[in-house]
């Protein structure tokens, strides 16, 4: 697992050999099993995979929000050389929202139904500014705060009156914009967007992604976008990581991955996309993901892999840089490692 760390020196976030396990009565589930990747400054990085591949678990792990029976079982999460995985809870709390912000998956239910939008933005701001300044009421007056809330709402394309609304008075898209406003309120260097458009219709999806792109560009933050929709990824991210069975199968620039997917799983994913310029339209993904309780030996993908050969059931493949900036975890490329 050493290769991933060499991806680039300048990284905002470096995840090394991250492991998340869930302890169930039937045994241990390795939801995330040795995942390494980096997030470069100002970059849009995507993680794709089927449900159950561990991508959303990674989002929660990076925020240190894994709840029992799950736990972070190993690895490092380096944010500017500080290991978040080893941070005490108090210190981690001041990292959340201020340095790493989350745009949550369930847009419909992510806001407290009994608090006005305004209060839900302000309480997050105050929680961090109090900590920083040490004083009770912070440096700001109520009026300053409300002005700041209004600006935030306008920056995500909402009217300032939305501040006075309760969540149930807003549409799904508006709620998700409020979540984005909360995420950018403290100008974090990293924004994790966990399937931010999953509950929305297609038109609203596009608008939300545009808003997200705009605020990201303005802040200069890095975005980690998590999703299952390869098409959406292709439009938004610079680089993409493909996850399967709790492991990364492939990482590379989006364009290159679409032009020439290296891992057989990525190939299957991309050929399953409806396409205009390809004749062979819509190949269905063959087979089912394995049971998370007893993963197959060797490469976890080998039972479904059309190109599996002898080493696959025997040895676990390692994620390696097989071409400049292209990382693959597959025995097909064992000989193709660049020095």
Partner 1 sequence: MGVTTGTMAPALRDSVFTELRTRVRGAGGHLRRNPKLLLGLVMLIALLALGTLGPLVIDTDTARPMSVIPDQPPSREHLFGTESQGRDMLALVVRGIPLTVEIGLIAGAIGLGIGTVLGFIGGYTGGIVDTIIRSAADIMLTVPGLLVLIVVAASIEGLVSVEMIALVVASLAWMFPTRTIRSQVLSLRERPYVEMAKLNGMSGPQIIFRELMPNLLPYLGASFVGAVGSAILAAIGLEALGLGPQNEPTLGMTIYWAIFYSALLRGLWWWWAAPVGVIVILFVSLFLIAAGLDELANPRLRRAES
Partner 2 sequence: MVAISQPQVGRQTRSRSATALRRPFVRYAIRRVGVFLLVVWAAATLNFFLPRLAPGQDPVRARLGTVLAQGGSVSGIEEMVATYNEKFGLGEPLWLQYLRYLGDYARFDFGYSLASYPARVLDLIGNALPWTICLLVVSTVIAFVVGTLAGALLGWTRAPRWLGHLFMPFLTLSAIPYYLLGLVLIYFLAFRSRVFPLSGGYTVGTEPAWSWEFIQDAVTHSILPALSIVLAQLGFWALGMRGMMVMTEGEDYMTFAEAKGLPPRTIFFRYAIRNALLPQTTSLALALGGIVSQAVLVEVVFGYPGIGTLLYNAIKGFDYFLIYGIVFLVIVTIGLTTLILDLVYPLLDPRITYQRQ
CA atoms of 209 and 197, how far apart (whole Å): 8
CA atoms of 334 and 318, how far apart (whole Å): 9
Contact 153, 181 (CB under 8 A): yes
Give the chain's end-to-end CA distance (angstroms, integer): 16
| DSSP of 74-88 | EEEEEETTEEGGGS-
Residue 136 Cβ, how far from partner 2 at the closest point, in Å? Answer: 13
- The first and second tokens of residue 5, run together, are 């760390």
Q: Which of 46, 54, 124, 173 binds partner 1 (CB under 8 A)?
A: 54
State which residue, 118 or 228, has the beta carbon closest to partner 1.
228
CA dist list (Å): 173 to 54, 106, 259, 272, 305: 26, 11, 32, 28, 39
**Interface contacts to partner 2, rule CB under 8 A:** 60, 63, 65, 67-68, 93-98, 101-102, 104-106, 108-115, 123-124, 127-128, 166, 168-171, 174, 179, 182
| Residue 176 interacting with partner 1 (CB under 8 A) | no
CA atoms of 298 and 316, how far apart (whole Å): 4
Residue 110 Cβ, how far from partner 2 at the closest point, in Å? Answer: 4
Residue 11 near which of partner 2, partner 1, none (CB within 5-8 Å, type-dependent): none
- Number of Cβ within 10 Å of residue 4's Cβ equals 23
Residue 149 Cβ, how far from partner 1 at the closest point, in Å? Answer: 26
Residue 67 Cβ, how far from partner 1 at the closest point, in Å? Answer: 4
Residue 113 near which of partner 2, partner 1, none (CB within 5-8 Å, type-dependent): partner 2
Residue 26 near which of partner 2, partner 1, none (CB within 5-8 Å, type-dependent): partner 1
| Residue 192 interacting with partner 1 (CB under 8 A) | no
Secondary element (H or E) of residue 207: helix 202-219
| Residue 26 interacting with partner 1 (CB under 8 A) | yes
Q: Which stretches of the chain bind partner 1, using CB under 8 A? A: 22, 24-26, 29, 31, 51-54, 56-57, 60, 65-67, 70, 105-106, 109, 289, 291-293
């Amino acid at each position: 697992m050493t290769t991933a760390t060499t991806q680039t020196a300048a990284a905002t976030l470096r995840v090394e050999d991250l492991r998340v396990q869930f302890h169930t009565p039937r045994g241990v589930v390795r939801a995330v099993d040795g995942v390494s990747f980096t997030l470069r400054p100002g970059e849009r990085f995507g993680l794709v995979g089927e449900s159950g591949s561990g991508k959303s678990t990674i989002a929660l792990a990076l925020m240190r929000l894994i709840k029992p029976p799950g736990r972070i079982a190993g690895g490092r999460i380096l944010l500017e050389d500080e290991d978040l995985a080893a941070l005490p809870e108090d210190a981690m709390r001041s990292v959340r929202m201020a340095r790493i912000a989350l745009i949550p998956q369930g847009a419909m239910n992510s806001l407290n139904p009994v608090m006005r939008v305004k209060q839900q933005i302000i309480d997050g701001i105050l929680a961090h500014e109090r900590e920083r300044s040490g004083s009770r009421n912070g440096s700001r007056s109520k009026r300053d705060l409300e002005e700041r809330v209004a600006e935030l709402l306008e920056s995500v394309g909402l009217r300032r009156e939305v501040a006075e609304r309760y969540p149930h008075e807003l549409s799904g898209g508006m709620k998700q914009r409020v979540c984005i406003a909360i995420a950018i309120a403290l100008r974090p260097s990293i924004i994790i967007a966990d399937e931010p458009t999953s509950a929305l219709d297609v038109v609203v999806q596009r608008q939300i992604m545009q808003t997200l792109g705009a605020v990201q560009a303005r802040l200069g933050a890095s975005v980690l976008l998590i999703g299952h929709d390869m098409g959406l990824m292709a439009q938004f991210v610079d680089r993409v990581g493909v996850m399967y069975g709790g492991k990364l199968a492939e990482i590379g620039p989006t364009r290159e991955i679409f032009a020439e997917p290296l891992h057989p799983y990525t190939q299957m994913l991309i050929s399953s996309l409806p396409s205009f310029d390809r004749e062979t339209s819509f190949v269905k993904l063959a087979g089912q993901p394995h049971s998370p309780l007893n993963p197959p030996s060797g490469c976890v993908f080998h039972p479904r892999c059309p190109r599996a050969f002898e080493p696959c059931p025997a040895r676990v493949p390692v994620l390696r840089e097989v071409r400049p900036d292209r990382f693959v975890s597959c025995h097909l490329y064992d000989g193709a490692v660049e020095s």
